[in-house]
């Protein structure tokens, strides 16, 4: 497939791995920020191609995983209402709240629908004027323009039966929280390619400077990731800490201005709670005043739901890159995609689910010996 | 789809102990999410993945247990007065009922014909039961019946008995069809999912994912255009060519397992065989044929073609000494022109499917939990 196969080529991958081996002299810990990158790394077995001393840790960039339990409970409370058609991205359906998941709500008669675009909700709302259509607007900066467009168009069209349950989060404040933590192990970042395609990467420059940490904005194909790793290691070995752009075929420093304009008109920055991490100041979006009427939290009076997450959960440490999925004693035994204990096991982008699906429930050395020599 | 199609134990991976809701999870303390089982049937129970397996095991197999059922193949092989008969049943609920490459009628005939054929049987007779929804256009039903008649003639089977019921509008979805088939196993084959041995080759009869992606592309709300068509086809002729070749080579039993990778796709079928045979599977990603259009749709939707349904493909586990001959016989048949060897059976890790990826890494191809869910971004 054109524009994809070039970035999955085994020979080019081998050459990049060879270059990484040549450049790298010390052990390094690199975090890929985005869940899509985590997925690609484990799906393609990229971590096993790298030198043993280059450790990839999986960041907080899985939107499903970082959505706090109280927000899931709010979503479920709305989805259970007989007057509601609840629309969501697919992988949110299996995330358990305090009492079941959206699949269970659907099986009990709730009208829960998977949409591929937030704008599908407009069509559903027009076709069902006697129902309230609610979209679960989760995600990072990547999904913000499309989610903003839903609110924008609903307002333009004067649709009274559309609303958004907003749980939007932002990448840079999360990276800042990770870097500021006394437990931090991360020495360099693969920056989130799709997020930066929307907002550019100027926001990352002060982070790189302040913490003297390399941030290489990176794509999602195997060759992208290997090249991103090489660029980070190049910087680390040279003692540099700068923002660089591996994903230049998709984005530039400024990002997508029309998308940023739309986001700015619809959303404003607010404090957000992250699963397993807690509240990070200025780390999310909420609807601006002119769009408040489309806020499902107020329309359905669920803003008082305040489910507490127990303080002790390794999911939070995994999302910050402090520990790995198989450091968790429940991983692969009590906690599987079949019976997920944490959201990191639920979404395909979640670090635990990715590890499980692609075989990291074997010990690392087992897999290397299985894969070796074939 | 019949109970025989799903695995009788949890496939690859560590076992999942029954969750105890009351006990705290030690040693890392309580978890932010509760363990739960679905008290109602959810769609994932019909996905062919682990949820389906669990449901069938807990609800059906435990109650109906017998040696024939315990084989858990796509069909039961029955020895009746010295004659070996293959017997199977399958239900069809596809939406939309007409799609490029077929319709619910041809699917219902071919699906059951294929379940008989992969057991080494010559398909002979079918029964068909129809559940019709009030309001279904009679012309649509006639079109479905025409299609079934044509498919039956093509497969050389006769539809010899049937049943029709009508349910209230809203209690069905136009038409549901259940077909049951009988075939004659007229040579001494030994085909069963527990017969894969290390060194055996894994043969696949062509491009994967065509049916599943065709159906998805037709569904409301997706609106992507493609020239794809379902691969819906009766495979008895292709299978006969394979068995003839093995017999000519004097090694009929060298064809160890044949399955049609329908719901759950190639990945699910290979996992079932790996678990039943106590062997591993080693696939090579570059050797697995996937059409550009299917790959493109899967990329867009966040799906993996290895788990997408096929309705006209065979996965066969074949002994190494006859694998090339059987492959050539497949390639000589119109329905097997794109056949290839996609990997081999290995000793360890038992019960698992591994794949060497295009970039040279290795991953495990596990059984899905429920439905494949599109990822957010």
Domain co-membership, B208 together with B354:
yes
Domain co-membership, B78 together with B115:
yes
B132, B159, B184 - which closes a domain: B184
Domain co-membership, B161 together with B206:
no
pLDDT at position A331 = 80
Domain co-membership, B231 together with B311:
yes
Residues 83-142 of A with CB under 8 A from B: 89-101, 103-104, 106-108, 114-116, 120, 138-140, 142
> Is the CB of B42 inside 8 Å of chain A's CB atoms?
yes
What average pLDDT score do residues A267-285 get? 91
- Whether residue B82 is contained in a domain is answered as yes
What average pLDDT score do residues B186-192 get? 93
> Is the CB of A339 inside 8 Å of chain B's CB atoms?
yes
Domain co-membership, B221 together with B349:
yes
What confidence category does residue B4 fall into, taking pLDDT thresholds of 50, 70 and 90? very low
Give, in order, the Cα–Cα distances in Å from A82 to each of A77, A101, A111, A301, B68.
11, 16, 8, 15, 46
What average pLDDT score do residues A245-271 get? 96
Domain co-membership, B141 together with B273:
no
- Whether residue B193 is contained in a domain is answered as no
Residues 13-32 of B with CB under 8 A from A: 13-14, 16-17, 19, 25-32
Contacts of A42 by beta carbon, 8 Å cutoff, 6+ apart: A354, A355, A357, A358, A360, B363
Domain co-membership, B160 together with B220:
no
- Higher pLDDT: A354 or A63? It is A63
State the ipTM, two decimals: 0.77
What confidence category does residue B106 fall into, taking pLDDT thresholds of 50, 70 and 90? very high
- Whether residue B63 is contained in a domain is answered as no
- Residue range of the domain that includes B223: 201-364
**What's the sign of the alpha-carbon dihedral B269, B273, B279, B283?**
negative
pLDDT at position B51 = 81
Domain co-membership, B206 together with B351:
yes
- Whether residue B34 is contained in a domain is answered as no
Which residues, listed in sequence order, are joined to residue A52 by a DSSP beta bridge? Answer: none
Helix intervals (H) in B185-264: 210-218, 236-248
pLDDT at position A16 = 96
Q: Which domains does chain A have, with CATH numbers?
A: 65-169+256-299 (3.40.50.11740)
What average pLDDT score do residues B190-216 get? 95
**What's the sign of the alpha-carbon dihedral A49, A55, A61, A66?**
positive
- Whether residue B208 is contained in a domain is answered as yes
Domain co-membership, B81 together with B132:
yes
Domain co-membership, B230 together with B260:
yes
B156, B184, B212 - which closes a domain: B184
Q: How many CA atoms lie within 13 A of A138 on its CB side?
A: 28
Tokens coding B319: 């002994």
What confidence category does residue B44 fall into, taking pLDDT thresholds of 50, 70 and 90? confident
What average pLDDT score do residues A336-350 get? 67
Pick among B226, B350, B355, B362 to test the A interface (most A CBs inside 10 A)? B362
For A125-134, A191-200, A317-326, B93-102, which range has the lowest pLDDT when averaged over its residues? A317-326
Q: Residues B321-356: pLDDT tens digits?
A: 999 999 999 999 999 999 999 999 999 888 889 999
The Cα–Cα gap between B292 and B270 comes to: 23
- Residue that the structure tokens 């990291």 belong to: A360
- Whether residue B67 is contained in a domain is answered as no
pLDDT at position A370 = 36
pLDDT at position B16 = 33
Q: Residue B109: which CATH number? A: 3.30.1330.10
Domain co-membership, B263 together with B348:
yes
B184, B215, B245 - which closes a domain: B184
Answer yes or no: is pLDDT of B36 > 60: no
- Using an 8 Å CB-CB cutoff, list chain B residues near A356: 13, 366
Nearest to A143 among B286, B359, B377 (CB): B377
pLDDT at position B41 = 85
Contacts of B44 by beta carbon, 8 Å cutoff, 6+ apart: A103, B51, B52, B369, B370, B371
- Whether residue B142 is contained in a domain is answered as yes
pLDDT at position A198 = 96
pLDDT at position A347 = 64
Average pLDDT, chain A: 88
Residues 141-160 of A with CB under 8 A from B: 142-143
Q: Residues A173-186: pLDDT tens digits?
A: 999 998 998 889 99
Answer yes or no: is pLDDT of B52 > 80: yes
Q: Residues A302-316: pLDDT tens digits?
A: 988 888 765 545 777
Q: How many structural domains compose chain B?
A: 2
Answer whether A313's CB lies under 8 Å from A297's CB: no
What average pLDDT score do residues A25-39 get? 93
- Residue that the structure tokens 């039943």 belong to: B276
- Whether residue B44 is contained in a domain is answered as no
Answer whether B229's CB lies under 8 Å from B214's CB: yes
Q: Residues A8-23: pLDDT tens digits?
A: 889 999 999 999 999 9
What φ, ψ does residue A208 adopt, rounded to 5°? Answer: -60, -40
> Is the CB of B370 inside 8 Å of chain A's CB atoms?
yes
Average pLDDT, chain B: 87
Contacts of B138 by beta carbon, 8 Å cutoff, 6+ apart: none
For A200-209, A318-327, A349-358, which range has the lowest pLDDT when averaged over its residues? A349-358
Q: Residue B281: which CATH number? A: 3.90.650.10
- Residue that the structure tokens 């609840």 belong to: A86
> Is the CB of B82 inside 8 Å of chain A's CB atoms?
no
pLDDT at position A361 = 52
pLDDT at position A308 = 75
Measured over all CA atoms, what is the biggest interatomic distance in chain B, rounded to whole angstroms?
64
pLDDT at position B373 = 65
Domain co-membership, B155 together with B234:
no
Answer whether A134's CB lies under 8 Å from A86's CB: yes
What confidence category does residue A333 fall into, taking pLDDT thresholds of 50, 70 and 90? confident
Quick one: CA torsion of B241, B242, B243, B245, rounded to 10 degrees?
80
- On the 0-12 / 13-18 / 19+ scale of CB atoms within 10 A, B223 is exposed
Q: Residues B164-176: pLDDT tens digits?
A: 999 999 999 999 9
What average pLDDT score do residues B36-44 get? 74
**Structure letter (DSSP) for residue A335:** B
Q: Residues B12-34: pLDDT tens digits?
A: 333 333 333 333 322 222 233 33
DSSP A68-123: -HHHHHHHHHHHTSTTEEEEE-GGGTT---SS--HHHHHHTT-EEEE-SSTTHHHH
């Amino acid at each position: 497939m054109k524009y994809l196969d070039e970035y999955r080529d085994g020979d080019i991958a081998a050459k990049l791995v060879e270059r990484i081996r040549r450049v790298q002299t010390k052990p390094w810990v690199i975090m890929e920020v985005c869940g899509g990158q985590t997925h690609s790394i484990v799906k393609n077995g990229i971590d096993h191609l790298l030198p043993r001393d280059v450790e990839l840790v999986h960041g907080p960039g899985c939107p499903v995983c970082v959505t706090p339990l109280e927000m899931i409970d709010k979503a479920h409370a709305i989805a259970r209402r007989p007057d509601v058609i609840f629309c969501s991205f697919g992988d949110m359906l299996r995330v358990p709240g305090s009492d079941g998941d959206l699949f269970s709500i659907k099986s009990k008669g709730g009208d829960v629908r998977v949409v591929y675009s937030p704008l599908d909700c407009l069509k559903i709302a027009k076709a069902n004027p006697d129902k309230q259509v609610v979209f679960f607007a989760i995600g990072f900066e990547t999904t913000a323009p499309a989610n903003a467009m839903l609110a924008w168009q609903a307002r333009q069209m004067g649709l009274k039966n559309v609303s958004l349950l907003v749980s939007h989060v932002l990448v840079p404040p999360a990276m800042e929280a990770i870097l500021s933590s006394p437990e931090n192990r991360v020495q360099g970042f693969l920056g989130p390619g799709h997020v930066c395609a929307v907002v550019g990467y100027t926001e990352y420059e002060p982070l790189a400077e302040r913490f003297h940490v390399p941030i290489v904005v990176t794509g999602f194909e195997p060759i992208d990731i290997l090249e991103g790793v090489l660029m980070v290691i190049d910087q680390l070995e040279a003692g540099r800490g700068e923002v660089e752009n591996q994903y230049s075929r998709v984005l530039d420093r400024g990002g997508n201005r029309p998308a940023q304009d739309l986001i700015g008109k619809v959303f404003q920055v607010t404090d957000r709670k992250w699963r397993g991490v807690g509240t990070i100041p200025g780390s999310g979006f909420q609807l601006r005043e002119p769009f408040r009427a489309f806020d499902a939290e107020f329309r359905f009076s669920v803003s008082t739901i305040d489910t507490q997450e127990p303080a002790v959960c390794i999911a939070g440490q995994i999302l910050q890159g402090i520990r790995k999925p198989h450091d968790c004693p429940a991983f692969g035994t009590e906690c599987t995609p079949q019976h997920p204990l944490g959201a990191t096991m639920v979404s395909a982008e979640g670090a635990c689910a990715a590890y499980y699906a692609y075989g990291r429930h074997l010990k690392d050395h087992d897999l290397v010996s299985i894969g070796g020599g074939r | 789809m019949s109970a025989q199609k799903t695995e009788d134990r949890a496939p690859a991976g560590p076992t999942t102990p029954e969750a105890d809701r009351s006990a705290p999870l030690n040693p890392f303390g309580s978890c932010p999410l509760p363990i739960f089982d679905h008290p109602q049937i959810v769609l994932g129970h019909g996905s062919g993945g682990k949820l389906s397996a669990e449901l069938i095991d807990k609800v059906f197999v435990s109650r109906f247990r017998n040696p024939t059922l315990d084989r858990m193949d796509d069909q039961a092989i029955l020895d009746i007065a010295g004659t070996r008969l293959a017997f199977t049943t399958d239900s069809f609920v596809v939406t939309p009922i007409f799609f490029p490459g077929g319709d619910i009628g041809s699917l219902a005939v071919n699906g059951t014909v294929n379940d008989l054929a992969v057991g080494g049987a010559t398909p002979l007779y079918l029964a068909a039961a129809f559940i019709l929804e009030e309001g279904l256009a009679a012309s649509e039903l006639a079109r479905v019946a025409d299609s079934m008649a044509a498919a039956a003639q093509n497969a050389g089977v006769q539809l010899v008995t049937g049943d029709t019921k009508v349910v209230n509008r809203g209690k069905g979805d136009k038409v549901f069809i259940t077909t049951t088939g009988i075939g004659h196993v007229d040579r001494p084959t030994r085909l069963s999912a527990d017969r894969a041995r290390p060194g055996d080759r894994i043969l696949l009869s062509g491009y994967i994912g065509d049916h599943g992606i065709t159906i998805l592309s037709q569904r409301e709300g997706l609106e992507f255009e493609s020239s794809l068509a379902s691969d819906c086809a009766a495979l008895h002729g292709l299978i006969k060519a394979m068995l003839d070749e093995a017999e000519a080579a004097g090694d009929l039993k060298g064809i160890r397992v044949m399955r049609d990778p329908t719901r759950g796709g190639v990945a699910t079928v290979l996992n079932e065989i790996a678990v039943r045979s106590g062997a591993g599977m080693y696939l090579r990603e570059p050797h697995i044929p996937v059409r550009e259009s299917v790959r493109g749709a899967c990329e867009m939707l966040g799906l993996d073609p290895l788990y997408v349904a096929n309705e006209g493909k065979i996965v066969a586990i074949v002994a190494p000494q006859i694998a090339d001959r059987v492959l050539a016989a497949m390639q000589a048949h119109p329905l097997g022109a794109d056949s290839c060897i996609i990997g081999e059976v290995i000793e360890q890790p038992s019960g698992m499917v591994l794949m060497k990826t295009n970039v040279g890494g290795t991953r495990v191809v596990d059984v899905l939990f429920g439905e494949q869910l599109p990822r957010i971004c």
